[in-house]
């Protein structure tokens, strides 16, 4: 396994864990809020925590969505083009995504620095922790785009989305790949 593959696998795993933890915090905060409302005393901090968890959920999930093709993608015309044009357009799209994310990372870091002077009203959390989610989103989006570019240039992939692993055949309810089409 190459360094590039290990790095990509590590980033994917870290992002999946981040999405899972963010979603768990989100579920817990909403559950506490709902139970609190039923009981007549909903904690104020749950709304704030829910927003912060959503920010981190998106930050960790955006790169994964780029990888799996779940971001907005208009490829009907692109994929109908002849020859190597679709691959070249996917490479161009990845390069533009990486460039834009890297370009926006500098002002996003300034946004993080501004948060040092602020705290959230209900949780009292320093806002640079919250603002960091914007920079993290851009950094991870750039990382996934750069990984795609490098793998395309090295001919390790053609730039098409990498879907989640298929279920093993012996798993209950698994559909054989030939029947799924």
Above 70 in pLDDT, residue 16?
Answer: yes
Res 71: pLDDT: 79
Q: How many CA atoms lie within 13 A of 154 on its CB side?
A: 11
Report the greatest alpha carbon distance in the chain.
64
Q: How far apart are CA 61 and CA 12, in angstroms?
A: 10
Res 1: pLDDT: 56
State the pTM of this model.
0.83
Evaluate whether 13 touches 165 at the Cβ level (below 8 Å).
Answer: no
Q: How far apart are CA 30 and CA 46, in angstroms?
A: 7
Res 74: pLDDT: 66
Q: How far apart are CA 97 and CA 14, in angstroms?
A: 21
Cβ neighbours for 174, distance < 8 A, ≥ 6 positions apart: 166, 167, 168
């Amino acid at each position: 396994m190459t360094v590039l593959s290990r790095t990509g696998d590590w980033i994917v795993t870290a992002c999946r864990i981040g999405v899972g933890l963010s979603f768990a915090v989100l579920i817990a905060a909403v559950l506490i809020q709902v139970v609190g409302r039923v009981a007549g005393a909903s904690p104020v901090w749950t709304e704030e925590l829910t927003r912060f968890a959503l920010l981190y959920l998106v930050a960790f999930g955006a790169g994964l969505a780029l990888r799996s093709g779940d971001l907005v993608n208009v490829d009907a015309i692109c994929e109908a083009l002849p020859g190597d044009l679709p691959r070249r357009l996917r490479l161009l799209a990845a390069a533009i995504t990486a460039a834009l994310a890297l370009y926006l990372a500098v002002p996003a870091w300034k946004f993080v620095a501004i948060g040092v002077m602020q705290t959230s009203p209900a949780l009292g959390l320093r806002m640079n922790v919250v603002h960091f989610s914007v920079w993290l989103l851009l950094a991870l989006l750039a990382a996934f785009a750069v990984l795609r570019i490098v793998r395309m240039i090295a001919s390790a992939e053609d730039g098409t989305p990498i879907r989640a692993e298929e279920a093993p055949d012996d798993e209950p309810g698994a559909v054989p790949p030939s029947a799924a089409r």
